[in-house]
Amino acid sequence: MQLKELSRQSGVSAASIKYYLREGLLPAGETVHATRAQYSARHVERLELIQALRRIVGLTIEQIGGLLRMADDGVPRLALLAAVQRVVLNLDSRATAGGGPGTPAADAVVRLRSWPDSPSDARNALNAHLELMESLNIPVSGELLDTYSKAMNDVAGLDIAATTAPESVDRLILTAAVGMHMHSQLLLKLLALAQASHAIRRYERDA
C-alpha cells in the first residue's frame, strides 16, 4: 500500500505520517522507485502504537521516538520495560542524577520489603523525590513509607502477575505503557476518593 492508503487505514493524516517519518517514529516504506514507496501492515500497527502512546498515555514525540528506537535496536525486554516505566511514571526528573549516596529512608524501604537492591531508574527517582520532599520540609515518616510501600508491593504483585508476554515488541510496549498508565491513574483516582472520604468524615467530626 502507499501513503494515502496507509493514511486511510490508520486514520492518521498523510501530513502527520510524513512528520512521523521525519522524526524517525515510523520506519521508511520500501522505496520501489524514487517517487513510490510501499507500506505494510507493520506500518499500520506502528501508527496505532504511536497514536495510543500520544493520545492515551500522553507521551511526547521525543519520548515515543526513544522507545521505538530502543525497540528497533533490539534492546532486551526488561530494559525496554524499564524505559517504558521511566516515561510513563515520570521517573526522569532532572534531579534524578543516578549514583548518589541514596537516602537512608529509601534504603530502609528496600530492606523492609526485601526488594532486589540494585540501582535503577526507579530507585534513583525515589531517592531524588525523597530529597526533594525533605528540601520542601514535607515530613516523610517511617510509618508513612512503610504503609505506602506495603500498599505498592501488594499492588505491583497483582500488576506483574497479570502481565503476559505479548508476541511482538511493539505490542509489549503498547500493553505495558497503556497498562501502566491506566493502573497508575486508577490508583490516583482511588486515592482521591479515599482522601475525599476521609476528609469528609474529619470535617463532619470537627463541625
Residues of this chain that bind DNA (CB under 7 A): 2-5, 13-16, 18-19, 21, 28-29, 31-37, 54, 60-62
Concatenated DSSP letters for 118-182?
Answer: ---HHHHHHHHHHHHHHHTT----HHHHHHHHHHHHHHHHHHHHH----SSHHHHHHHHHHHHHH
Q: How far is the CB of 141 from a second copy (least distance, A)?
A: 8
Residue 33 or 55 with smaller CB distance to a second copy? 55
3 binds, among DNA, a second copy, none (CB under 5 to 8 A by kind): DNA
Residue 18: phi, psi to the nearest 5? -60, -40
Residue 32 or 186 with smaller CB distance to a second copy? 186
The cell for 60 is: 511526547
The cell for 157 is: 504483585
The rounded distance, in Å, linking the Cα atoms of 48 and 64 is 12
Residues in the site for a second copy, rule: CB under 8 A? 56, 78, 81-82, 85, 89-91, 109-110, 113, 115-116, 118, 120-123, 125-126, 129-130, 132-133, 136, 138-140, 143-145, 147-160, 162, 178-180, 182, 184-203
Q: Which helix (H) or strand (E) holds 67?
A: helix 61-72
4 binds, among a second copy, DNA, none (CB under 5 to 8 A by kind): DNA
Residue 34 or 207 with smaller CB distance to a second copy? 207
